[in-house]
Structure 1
Amino acid sequence: MFDEIEKKWASMGGADGVLGKPYGESRKTIDGNGKYQRFDNGSIYWNPDVGAFYIYGVVESKYTKMGYESSYLGFPTSDTIDLGDKRSYNNFTGGVIYCHPLFHCIALRGPILDKWKQMGAEKSVMGYPVREIQATEDGKGECQHFQFGDIYSHPDHGIFEMRGRPRIEWYKLGGLNGKFGPPVSEVTESEDGSYQNFKHGTIVWHGKQQKVDIQEHGTA
């Protein structure tokens, strides 16, 4: 077994630890920049830039499906972290995998991941990710769905959260491909409800009146 991997495994209790016994030999990773070792209940990955970390369970299954370190996720930069209630996550050089029994395992990356973390990650108003990142029609931006909203990122427009009634009405109008286009501001709470600005209009929700005000700005 490769020395750094063996040290990590020993620090976890060796064969009596969470990973159990090793099988096979330590191997080079697909990209040739690191090594990995399989165990009864998971794997340890090592890379000279980040060190050795273990990954197991549904997180490892998702990582495997995405192509291991050859995917945009790269190498693990943390051990698999158990959040309880069958929830877990793992950090990587290029992103993160979050797992929830209701939403399975979802990968996040880039500006959307940064925004979500700034908001408080799974404890934020957005909740857990429920769908993989999707590219915008022009291929330059991305959007990701969460339990209670979306995060949209585009180099030409910025990165914004979408939630509440303005988001619902925006989808009714066609979403990203609709006449209002992408968001250009955060959703803003007001005494009467909430509103959000889009490229070609504003959607206002009057909570007390239970009324939606659609303000189109034109497409010029």
Structure 2
Amino acid sequence: MRTKWLALGGLQTLGYPTTDEAVTPDGTGRYNHFSLAAGASVYWTPSTGAHAVQGAIRDKWAALGWETSALGYPTSDEYGVTGGRRNNFQHDYITWFSANGTTQVTYS
């Protein structure tokens, strides 16, 4: 967790941790939440590694049930796509669209 936090810019990008490192409800992974104004979390599992989820994408994933949702755990950090930003998850992805500030969940 600390390695990922530092790799992403630490305090300047994610802010301070607001939780201790905790075990996910399914017992598979671990997570930390951070103080970034838009909200940020880093989730880790042995099979997916550590990945950050932030802002509106994080809010949508949280509303769906975090890692217990149909999306599962994140498998990428947020990255740019045409018209917005995206995070990949075990079972597809969430895209945030900059033109209107909306998010879209895509399942295969």
Q: Same fold (TM over 0.5)?
A: yes
C-alpha displacement of 1:99: 1.5
Per the alignment, residue 8 of structure 1 pairs with 4
Question: Matched residues in 2 for 1:28 and 1:35: separation?
Answer: 4
Q: Residues 50-103 of structure 1: CA distance to partner in whole angstroms, max 9, x if unpaired?
A: 100001010000000000000110000000113476x21110001100121437
Give 1:43-192 correspondences, 5 Å limit.
43-83=41-81, 87-100=84-97, 101-102=99-100, 104-110=102-108
1:32 aligns with 2:59: no
The TM-score with structure 2 as length reference comes to: 0.88
User: Which blocks of at least 5 consecutive residues in structure 2 are unaligned?
Assistant: none
Q: SS of the residue aligned with 1:36? A: strand
Give the share of equivalent positions with the same residue, in percent. 33
C-alpha displacement of 1:24: 2.0
Q: Which amino acid aligns with 1:70?
A: T
> What RMSD over aligned residues (CA atoms) do the two structures have, in Å?
1.6
Larger Rg: 1
Counterparts in 2 of 1:99 and 1:69: CA distance versus 1, 3 Å: same
Higher relative contact order (Cα pairs below 8 Å, separated by 6+ residues): 2
Question: Matched residues in 2 for 1:98 and 1:13: separation?
Answer: 22
Q: SS of the residue aligned with 2:100? A: coil
The TM-score with structure 1 as length reference comes to: 0.45
